[in-house]
Every structure is written in C-alpha cells, then in structure tokens.
Amino acid sequence: MRVVKKQKLNGSDVRRLITEAIAASTLDLPLANTKLSQAWDACLRGNLKVPKLLRVIRCKKCGVLLMPARTASVRLIEGRAIWRCGSCGAEKHFRYA
Ligand SMILES: [Zn+2]
C-alpha cells in the first residue's frame, strides 16, 4: 500500500480555498463546506493565523459555511450583529459601528 503524505498548505492556499468556497456556495453547498473545512484544517496543521473572514463565515460548532439569508440568519441588535447558524442554531456576536 502506498503511503500518501499530506502536503502542507500555506497562507495563500488558505485564502484560495476560502475564495473557492464562497464561489461554490451558490451552486454546491456541500463542496463549499468541504473547501471551508480544508482551509480550517490547513490553518490548524500549518500553525497559520486563521483569517478573519474564515472566522466570520464558518460556524464554530458544526463547521458549515454561513451565508446570510441562506444558511444563517442575521439580526442587528444594539450595535451587535448576531449570526444564527441554520443547521445547528449556534450564535455568533459581532460588534459593529
Ligand atoms: Zn452550526
């Protein structure tokens, strides 16, 4: 049996995966989720800083892509944006303004 060594990805690969995930989200949501988890794994394995965009668009609990009005609902309350995941119900709070 051939052993396949996993290739280490760098920061530009992570950005590319995030861009591809967003592009794929309109047509193929499972593919978008796969690319998002690949980007997340690359950050953890390569000890890279997780880009802010990835922290915002990925659900912390179940790992799916959060797209406002499609896979997440967004409410604006008292200077905070509250993103609620459509598949697990987890919430994220962001300050704005
Ligand atoms: Zn979730």
pLDDT digits (tens, 9 = 90+) for 21-58: 999 999 999 999 999 999 999 999 888 999 999 999 99
pTM of the model: 0.81
Query: Is residue 4 over pLDDT 70?
Result: no
Specify the number of domains making up the chain: 1
Distance from the alpha carbon of residue 5 to the mean position of ligand 1, in angstroms: 31
- Position 1 in a domain: no
- pLDDT at position 65 is 94
Distance from the alpha carbon of residue 73 to the mean position of ligand 1, in angstroms: 11
- Position 18 in a domain: yes
**What number of other Cβ atoms are within 10 A of residue 53's Cβ?**
13
Considering just the CA atoms, what is the radius of gyration of the chain in Å? 15
Please identify every residue whose CB atom is under 5 Å from ligand 1, which is an ion: 59, 61-62, 85, 88, 90
C-alpha 19/C-alpha 53 separation (Å) is 10
State the residue range of the domain holding 24. 11-95
- Position 75 in a domain: yes
